[in-house]
Every structure is written in structure tokens, then in C-alpha cells.
Amino acid sequence: MPLPSEPTLSRPRVIQRRLFLAAAAFMPAACAMPPPPRILEPSGFAPTPPAPVSPLGTVPAPVARPVITPPATVSVPQGSFIAGSDRAERDRAYDLDELAYGQKLSRTRRQYENEDDRAERSTGAFRICRTPVTNAQYARFVIETGHRVPSFEASQGFIRAVADPLADASQRAAWTGPMAPKGREDHPVVLVSQDDARAYAEWLSLRTGDVWRLPHELEWEKAARGDDGRPFPWGEIFDASRLDSADSGPLDTQPVGLYKRGASPYGMLDAAGQVYEWTDDAGLEFGTIIIKGAGSWNDRGCGTCRPAWRQERPADLRDPRIGFRLVRL
């Protein structure tokens, strides 16, 4: 008998229709494609998903940082030079101080007796910043890293009280945000510790691909006085017109590189006057670092304005007379 839902058909047609319906019922299950296998990397983890795509169908580009222009440098060759000072040079330095200040305090304190004895020393070849690092150069480092800014509140050591004559200089040089004080962008950055200077060197090395670091004492001295042992960067005689000192300067830092006639034989500027500078060498007393820089804007005379001059200061000192420059290897 025919199925109730089927019309009356001949037996061959009935068989043909039933075969068609059975095949149709089987087709969806038979033709369904299994999901593709999950391909695992050798480590057993699924591949990293593709980068996100923006609504416009393109992968967002990484945010580009501005190109860093490194500080200009001068070249100092490998070889020997005359370092340190002798009795005659130190006595002349004391005489200059007495003439300028009208007293013998530096001689009484034996201020220059810790200088190395005059002798031939040597260094490898290196490049050193032509001028001290400026506020503008340091600002890019502060903006990108969030490093602490040069500030008066952090000053210590030389700065002992608000009544201290250096307090005004600290307030002028202090930053209130990630940008240098207006109008002082080209001045040497001050109120920075040795650690601050080292952090800047590490950042600059990463950003430029070169190796930057603080100079060793002998490197700084050689770059500042040449190889012939001259007492001042320019020669034998002190000349106040060749540097930013208290003899004729404004009792403040000035834009770097103004005193071209004060250049050393290798072309380094502001080696005398402007600011003392951090080196990479530890002092004899624990926690101290040797600072060089032949005098500062606050000195006169100028017995301290000689590359042989050296002092030890606490590594964490932040002072309005101390800045830094770097060596590039």
C-alpha cells in the first residue's frame, strides 16, 4: 500500500521517490565540513593573534618619538699629557685668590694641596661634549622618562640656609615642571646629582645607540688643558675676559659656548668658569665624587680656574654651581 502522504504512484516511481527523500535527509549531515584543526606552535601554545585592525582596516602605527640630536663633541686623541700641578703653580693660584679677595683663606685652608703632583699621564682616544649639557637637552630626558627635575628644595651641602648667597641662584635655576626655566634653556643644567647625570647618560645611550658616560678625571683634565701642562685652558696667564667668573660675569650661569676665546687646545668650551662638573671617579672619602671644572660663575681670582683643580663632593649633592658634560666612546 502507498504511504498516506504520498499520491498514488506506480511501484517503480514510489521506490524512486523514497530513495530521493532518504538521500535528501542524509545530505546535511554528510556534507557538513568539520572545523579546521588548531595548529599549535612547537611550544604548545596557540599562535599569537594578529595585531588589532582599526575601523579603516589598517594596523595602527606605533607612536614615533622625536629624533634626539646628541650634544656636539670634540675629539681628544690617545696619548700622554701633563696632568696635575707643582708647587709653583699652586703658589700662583694662592696669589690670585689673595689679590681678588684680599685675604689668605684659600692658602690657610690649603685648598689646592689635594691636587695631583705634576706628572705625565695618558688616556685613550675619546670624544667629549664641547660644552656642558644644557637645560634644553636635559628637558627631553625628563619629559620622556619622568625623572625628577632639578629643584631648589633638593639642594644640600653648599646650600645651608635661605640666607645663603647661593640660595637666590638655586631659585633661579630650579625647575617647577618638566621644562627648564624660561630664558635659561641654553644655560648649563645644574642642581643635578651624579646619579642624575648618570641616568641622563644611560638614556642618551639608549636613544642614540652610542655609549655615553661621565668623563674620568684624567679625561676631563686632558680635554681642558691639552697635552703641554698649561695652567689654564688658553695658556699661562689668567684672563677674566675668557670665562664666566665672578670677576666680570653676571654672578650666574650664561648660555653655553659664549666664551670662544676660552677654548682649550682641543676646542672644549666653558672648561673654565660656568660650572663645576661631575666626573665618574670616586673620592677618597666614602660616598664622595671628584668634581672638576676650572672654577664656576661664583669664583673670582681665580685659583680654582685651573684644570688641575679638584674637589670631592657628596655624590647626591645638587648645587647651583655643579653641572656635567659627557664622554662619547
pLDDT in tens, 101-146: 888 989 999 999 999 999 999 999 999 999 999 999 999 999 999 9
What is the value of pTM for the model shown?
A: 0.78
Average pLDDT, the chain: 83
pLDDT tens figures, 40-95: 444 443 444 454 444 444 544 445 677 888 999 999 999 999 999 999 999 999 99
Q: Spell out the domains of the chain, with CATH numbers in brackets.
A: 73-328 (3.90.1580.10)
The pLDDT assigned to 113 comes to 94
The pLDDT assigned to 55 comes to 47
Strand 276-282 relative to strand 322-323, pairing = parallel
pLDDT tens figures, 215-242: 999 999 999 999 999 999 999 999 999 9
d(CA 64, CA 67): 9
The pLDDT assigned to 151 comes to 86
The pLDDT assigned to 13 comes to 53
Residues 6 or more apart whose Cβ sits within 8 Å of residue 260: 269
d(CA 89, CA 118): 10
Q: Rounded to whole angstroms, what are the CA distances from 190 to 68, 124, 196, 254?
A: 21, 29, 10, 12
pLDDT tens figures, 273-292: 999 999 999 999 889 999 99
The average pLDDT across 193-220 equals 97
Q: Give the CA radius of gyration of the chain.
A: 36
The pLDDT assigned to 8 comes to 47
Which comes out higher in pLDDT, residue 11 or 294?
294
DSSP 47-108: PPPPPP--TTSSPPPPPPPPPP-PPPEEEE-SEEEEESB-HHHHHHHHHHHHHHHSS-HHHH
